[in-house]
Structure 1
Amino acid sequence: MKLYYAETLAPRKACAVARYLGIPIDYVFVDLKNGEQTRPDYLAINPNGKVPSLVDGEKNLWEADAIICHLAQRAESGLWPRSAQQQIDVVRWLSWNSQHLYRQGGSLYFEHLVKPWLGLGEPEPSNVAQAQGFFRQHASLLDQHLKGRKWLLGNDLSIADFSVAVTLPYAKSAAMPVDEFPQVQRWHDQLNAFDAWRNPFPARPAHAATQA
Structure 2
Amino acid sequence: MKLYYAETLAPRKACAVAGYLDLPIDYVFVDLSQGEQMKPDYLAINPNGKVPSLVDGERKLWEADAIVCHLAQRAESGLWPRDAQRQVEVVRWMSWNSQHLYRHAASLYFEHLIKPWIGLGAPDQAKVAEAQGFFRKHAAVLDQHLKGRKWLLGNDLSVADFSVGVTLPYAQSSAMPLDEFPEVRRWHDQLNAFEAWREPFPARLEPAAAHA
Task: Tell me the TM-score normalised to structure 2 length.
Answer: 0.98
Structure 1 residue 116, shift from structure 2 partner: 0.3
Any idea what the Cα deviations from partners look like across 1:73-127, whole Å, max 9, x if unmatched? 0000000000111000000000000000000000000000000000001000110
Within 5 Å, which residues of 2 pair with 1:17-56?
Answer: 17-56=17-56
Structure 1 residue 190, shift from structure 2 partner: 0.2
Preserved contact between residue 16 and residue 196 of structure 1 (Cα < 8 Å):
yes
Q: Structure 2: which amino acid aligns with 1:211?
A: A
Q: Take 1:186 and 1:209, find their aligned partners in 2: how far apart are those partners?
A: 30
Aligned to 2:199: 199
Unmatched runs of 5 consecutive residues or more in structure 1: none
Unmatched runs of 5 consecutive residues or more in structure 2: none
Aligned to 1:68: 68
State the superposition RMSD in angstroms: 0.5
SS in 2 for 1:186: helix
Within 5 Å, which residues of 2 pair with 1:1-212?
Answer: 1-205=1-205, 208-212=206-210
Structure 1 residue 133, shift from structure 2 partner: 0.1
Q: Structure 1: which amino acid aligns with 2:14?
A: A
Any idea what the Cα deviations from partners look like across 1:100-158, whole Å, max 9, x if unmatched? 00000000000000000000010001100000000000000000000000000000000
Q: Take 2:52 and 2:92, find their aligned partners in 1: how far apart are those partners?
A: 21
Structure 1 residue 211, shift from structure 2 partner: 2.0
Any idea what the Cα deviations from partners look like across 1:156-185, whole Å, max 9, x if unmatched? 000000000000000000000000000000
Q: Percent same amino acid among aligned pairs?
A: 80
Structure 1 residue 209, shift from structure 2 partner: 4.6
Q: Structure 2: which amino acid aligns with 1:142?
A: L
Q: How many residues align?
A: 210
Task: Tell me the TM-score normalised to structure 1 length.
Answer: 0.98
SS in 2 for 1:16: helix
Q: Take 1:28 and 1:108, find their aligned partners in 2: how far apart are those partners?
A: 27
Structure 1 residue 195, shift from structure 2 partner: 0.2
Preserved contact between residue 13 and residue 163 of structure 1 (Cα < 8 Å):
yes
**Over 3 Å off, 4+ runs:** none
